[in-house]
A and B are shown apart, each in its own frame.
Chain A
Amino acid sequence: MKFKQDKKTVFLDPHTQLTLSDEKLDIILSPSLYWVKKVSLPLKHARDAKKLLVSLFEDLLPEGSYSYSVYKQGEQFMIFAYEDKNILELLASQGILLSNVSSIHFAQSELDTIKGAIKINDTQSIYVKEGIVTLVPCCWIEESGDLDIADIKLSKHTLTLQQFGHIVDNKSLISIGVILSVFILLTWIELFILNKHIQTIEQESAEVFSKYHLKPTMFQNKALLKKYTKIHTNQTKMREEFSKALKIKDIKKISYKENRLKVSS
């Protein structure tokens, strides 16, 4: 029985083709997949800085649909901007299923302690400059080591990709969800009121039966009504015919039997 699934850490870079099997992955994003800034803000917590991220990157980013992330490092904040769509497309092109992705990290949060330059593909290396993991062409650095991320202990700084962020933003999705939920709630309230109304009417119907001492079934009551309606019709007819018959002169005998009036004169 398998209780714990092994996870593999991979470095996701647009210029590197990964060879993977169907396994769970922790992904480290290449610096080419995000924008990063180290800023000092008069704030205590990273969650307070989230509201400012859009304005902090204003006029710096090319046109696109960006998501933002932040974590605190010492007294400073590391702020990130990234395009979910780009990363998702790259994952898809590498044949990585989202269901196999366990976590996604920035190279900044995982590789900021590397010494010297590390080659990440045929043409590019990364190295840390003033605390920022920076991407540089290989020819800038003469001696580059190879990237070994198998033993890296990953931090808790992860990001979550918005799969449909480029189509509908989160706010719109939440608004649509809220509107749908409100409609559902209104429908349920109306349904509750309607069912109460139905119950009341059914109760009133039952009360009519007991109030007028009706028979238990409508079939019996309808049959009774039919019987008495027939009696009423016949009696009315008999009285009308009897009234007319009395105008005949010299009547010797007048009789009524089986709903027929006979006059002999």
Chain B
Amino acid sequence: MNRINPLYIGLLLVVVLLISVVQLNSSKGKLQEAKLSYKNISKLADNLVSLKKAYANKTKMEKSLRSLLRNKSLQASKMKATFKKSSVKLSSKSIDKNALNYLMGKLVNGSYHISSFEIKKLSEEKASFKMEIKW
């Protein structure tokens, strides 16, 4: 007669089912969190990569700047470029109007991190030019 009461087995099954359902709900919550976290990481990664590509790509910036400064229209302005580890300083004591237009057009329309610049009018055709670009 020392049989296990069937009701105890039923109760045990109900308890196991309840625990399983609670565990299931907890896992559903974890899944939502994991999905949200993945979405956030992906979005952050996309934004960060595109911004770094635009403002922190030293090799690409240095290469394009050197190419730009070799342009014929800037030869007469005797542009001085000092490349450092995290920046470059450009300066010209006298640059003509057309060369300045060309240079500023390229720099402002490109994705350079221009930290400072100064353009001072010397005459109707000439100006002095200073600029620092960071990466």
Residues of chain A touching chain B, judged by Cβ–Cβ distance below 8 Å, are 98-99, 101-104, 160-161, 163-164, 170, 173, 176-177, 180-181, 183-184, 187-188, 190-191, 194-195, 197-198, 201-202, 204-205, 208-209, 211-212, 214, 218, 221-222, 224-225, 228-229, 231-232, 235, 238-239, 242-243, 251-258
Smallest CB-CB separation from B33: which chain A residue? A198
- Excluding A184-B17, A214-B44, 8 further A-B contacts by CB distance (< 8 Å) are A163-B5, A187-B20, A201-B35, A205-B37, A208-B45, A212-B48, A255-B116, A256-B116
What 3 A-B pairs are tightest by C-beta distance, nearest first?
A: A228-B51, A101-B1, A187-B20
Give the contacts of B31-88 with A (CB-CB under 8 A): 31, 34-35, 37-38, 41-42, 44-45, 47-49, 51-52, 54-56
Given A99-B2, A197-B31, A225-B48, check contact A239 B108 (CB 8 Å). Answer: yes
Taking a contact as CB atoms under 8 Å apart, the answer to whether A187 and B17 are in contact is yes
Residues of chain B touching chain A, judged by Cβ–Cβ distance below 8 Å, are 1-3, 5-7, 9-10, 13-14, 16-17, 20-21, 23-24, 27-28, 30-31, 34-35, 37-38, 41-42, 44-45, 47-49, 51-52, 54-56, 108, 111, 113-114, 116-121
Chain A's nearest CB lies how many Å from the CB of B99?
A: 16
Question: Which of A188, A222, A239 interacts with B20 by CB under 8 Å?
Answer: A188
Cα–Cα distance between A258 and B132 once the two chains are bound (Å): 12
Chain A hits for B6, CB < 8 A = 163-164, 170, 173, 177
Smallest CB-CB separation from B122: which chain A residue? A252
Chain B hits for A258, CB < 8 A = 116
Cα–Cα distance between A103 and B5 once the two chains are bound (Å): 16
Taking a contact as CB atoms under 8 Å apart, the answer to whether B31 and A194 are in contact is yes
Taking a contact as CB atoms under 8 Å apart, the answer to whether B121 and A235 are in contact is no
Given A177-B10, A232-B55, A256-B114, check contact A208 B119 (CB 8 Å). Answer: no
Cα–Cα distance between A170 and B48 once the two chains are bound (Å): 66
Given A99-B2, A101-B1, A190-B24, check contact A177 B9 (CB 8 Å). Answer: yes
Cα–Cα distance between A139 and B29 once the two chains are bound (Å): 78
Cα–Cα distance between A102 and B3 once the two chains are bound (Å): 10
Cα–Cα distance between A170 and B1 once the two chains are bound (Å): 16
Given A187-B20, A201-B34, check contact A255 B118 (CB 8 Å). Answer: yes
Question: Which of B10, B21, B41, B121 interacts with A252 by CB under 8 Å?
Answer: B121
Taking a contact as CB atoms under 8 Å apart, the answer to whether B56 and A160 are in contact is no
Taking a contact as CB atoms under 8 Å apart, the answer to whether B7 and A224 are in contact is no
Taking a contact as CB atoms under 8 Å apart, the answer to whether B55 and A231 are in contact is yes
Taking a contact as CB atoms under 8 Å apart, the answer to whether B45 and A212 are in contact is yes
Chain A's nearest CB lies how many Å from the CB of B116?
A: 4
Chain B hits for A161, CB < 8 A = 1
Chain A's nearest CB lies how many Å from the CB of B41?
A: 5
Residue in B1, B38, B45 whose Cβ sees the most chain A Cβ within 10 Å: B1
Chain B hits for A204, CB < 8 A = 38
